[in-house]
Amino acid sequence: MSNVKARLVIRQREEFSPGAFVELMIWHLPQPVPGCTHPYKYRLAYVVGGECVLRYDNERGKGDHRHFVGVETPYVFRSVEQLHADFLSNVQIWNRWRSR
């Protein structure tokens, strides 16, 4: 067993509008989380009015997945950059849907 600890890659909270923010947390791990093939642990969330309306994470044993509009679906992790891009794209989709 390795004594190497997780390394924080990004920790960011950005306000999108009053009452809405994104929070990004990504760690590089010495070995993959069970259920994943990559060495990252992450949680990217979009919170509006105190409710998490979008979240990407890779919970232990569940693997990579996304919670969007109340539905959990598998997510295919390609890279940290693509994860971030996919998440922000879904934030924009949610905002367009919400503004109708």
Q: Is 2 contained in some domain?
A: no
pLDDT digits (tens, 9 = 90+) for 29-53: 999 999 999 999 999 999 999 999 9
**Using CA atoms, how far apart are residues 74 and 69, in angstroms rounded to an integer?**
14
Whole-structure pTM value = 0.89
- Tell me the pLDDT of the chain (100 aa) as tens digits: 455 689 999 999 999 889 999 999 999 999 999 999 999 999 999 999 999 999 999 988 899 999 998 899 999 999 999 999 999 999 999 999 887 6
Domain that holds residue 30: 7-98
Residue with tokens 């923010």: 21
Q: Is 87 contained in some domain?
A: yes
| Structural domains counted in the chain | 1
As a three-state string, the secondary structure of 50-96 is CEEEEEEECCCCCCCEEEECCEEEECCCCCHHHHHHHHHHHHHHHHH
Q: Is 1 contained in some domain?
A: no
Q: Which amino acid makes up residue 35? A: G
Question: What residues form DSSP beta bridges with 7?
Answer: 28
